[in-house]
Homo-oligomer: A and B are copies of this chain.
């Protein structure tokens, strides 16, 4: 057991929000408020930028009932940022400011909730504090709908987005085959480099409603192959539903969404708009069928009304474990998940991994979880996702609409 370290803590949220990042905040805040070692619990406004600008809120002054509603509130309630800290060997200005703020508020614990960029931020701060001689324990809390952090079985936020995507694809699959004349429907799903979310679109297909074709960014995208796939399905079923990752790219690395119009890429004329519209236009030009492009956009990362209970609970757990581990002496680590089974049931266990192992790395969908045809995911993929999306959390409502946390945000 490490020496008792007494002082304030800061909790910050970073990167793209999710449906459950506030559940991690709640896990960390409630554990910190309960810890005798922690003298004050500070929430950073817009992540590290709130630390740099001394915009810190005293979480101890919040109504506990409102804090508990964070579990039901999508997006980053404290505000997020995409601020990238410089290499401290090149420019340590920001780090000196951070140290100053840590000293001002006697901050001895720093918890940062985000993706791989945020773990890099965490790691840099951790090293600078160590070098400066300011004793401070730094812990990362994972978060990303993209599910692309290495060293963890899955990431908080992924499952709720996956459940939203799978459910929405099931619904659209019902809707898009309603008329006697067929339709090719293209659904664009987030995930620039990893296809975890796009693959999740396929989960409902096991239960009879979902996409016919799924394209992940792990493989090169071939427009001719894509059009041939669509034609085959359309001829057989009179309809076709496609789920496609926003990150699909041609063999030369060009994103399909950004490809310049040319006669060779399947786009007959100048293209604006998103990937789904582009692909729908290419299908229309080739097959002369009715098309519809749907982009799930922000909806998929804030659809908290469809959150997975497993995800909400695990996100909270990650926040709590970060605090408890730091109090026990850990630093420079991220909380990670291990998948286990107890009595034949899925259980989620936690472990700690070094921040350095996570920072700036990406975990992609294993190629063997994509079908040999390259246009769907395998049963292994669906078996991986299913336990994560189980259960519906209790969702407090007001007049049948979601009731979100209303924080007072009183400056410390």
Q: Which residues of chain B have C-beta atoms less than 8 A from A171's C-beta?
A: 74-75, 299, 302-305, 402
Q: A74-B175, A174-B74, A299-B168 are in contact. Are A81 and B180 (CB under 8 A)?
A: yes
Cβ-neighbour of A292 out of B272, B298, B389, B392 (below 8 A): B298
Q: Tell me if A305 and B306 are in contact (CB < 8 A).
A: yes
| Chain B neighbourhood of A79, CB < 8 A | 178-180
A142 within 8 Å of B (CB atoms):
no
Bound-complex Cα distance A397 to B272 (A): 39
Q: How many chain A residues touch B (Cβ–Cβ < 8 Å)? A: 65
Digitize A66-97: 1 where CB-to-B-CB distance is under 8 Å, 0 elsewhere. Answer: 00000001111101111000000000000000
Docked Cα-Cα span, A178 to B73, in Å, equals 13
A238 to chain B, nearest CB (A): 11
Interface residues of A in 271-289 (CB under 8 A from B): 271-274, 277
Give the nearest-CB partner of A21 in chain B: B178
Q: How many copies does the complex hold?
A: 2
> Contact at A208–B294, with CB atoms within 8 Å?
no
A360 interfacial by beta-carbon distance below 8 Å: no
A185 to B203, CA, bound (A): 30
Q: Is the CB of A166 within 8 A of B401?
A: yes
A406 to B174, CA, bound (A): 12
Select which of B295, B298, B386 is within 8 A of A399 by beta carbon.
Answer: B386
Tell which of B170, B172, B308, B401 touches A298, judged by Cβ atoms closer than 8 Å.
B172
